[in-house]
Amino acid sequence: MVNRIVTGAHFGLRDWLVQRVTAVVMALYMLALAGVLLWQPSFGYDTWSELFSGNVMRSLSLLFLLSVFYHAWIGVRDIVMDYVKPAGIRLVIHVLVILALLLYTIWSVQILWGL
């Protein structure tokens, strides 16, 4: 019998599930946005501005962007863990990616709510 000691590992199930859920959120948002835009009789700045003037669309767009950022974090983290062996370099890459994604999140809120 193999006696395996687990030290907080979840063997990737949570991350796998989060990637699938964020992918579904992104796909649904894109389909809904495409549907709304296809039903518009004309498309211009006024249509685009009116679409994003409400808090519902802004909130859904922020949910979409947060899904993109979290999805990207899991993907980049897994790739770095698989292919970058020196721990110091891996740490630097992880910190830079986290900082970039946090800045993108702040920037997204500023753009959506015009802060």
Q: What CATH number should be reported for the domain holding residue 66?
A: 1.20.1300.10
As given in the structure block, the two tokens for residue 74 are: 């899991």
Q: What is the share, in percent, of the chain residues with pLDDT greater than 90?
A: 71
Q: Is residue 71 part of a domain?
A: yes
Q: Is residue 18 part of a domain?
A: yes
For 41, the 3-state DSSP assignment is coil
pLDDT above 80 for 4: no
User: Domain span at residue 107?
Assistant: 13-113
As given in the structure block, the two tokens for residue 4 are: 């395996």
Contacts of 108 (CB under 8 A, 6+ apart): 62, 65, 66
Q: Is residue 31 part of a domain?
A: yes
Q: Is residue 30 part of a domain?
A: yes
Domain count, the chain: 1
- pLDDT tens, position by position, 23-74: 999 999 999 999 998 998 888 898 888 989 999 999 999 999 999 999 999 9
Q: Is residue 105 part of a domain?
A: yes
Q: Is residue 20 part of a domain?
A: yes
pLDDT computed for residue 12 by the predictor: 78
- 3 pLDDT tier (thresholds 50, 70, 90): low
- 10 pLDDT tier (thresholds 50, 70, 90): low
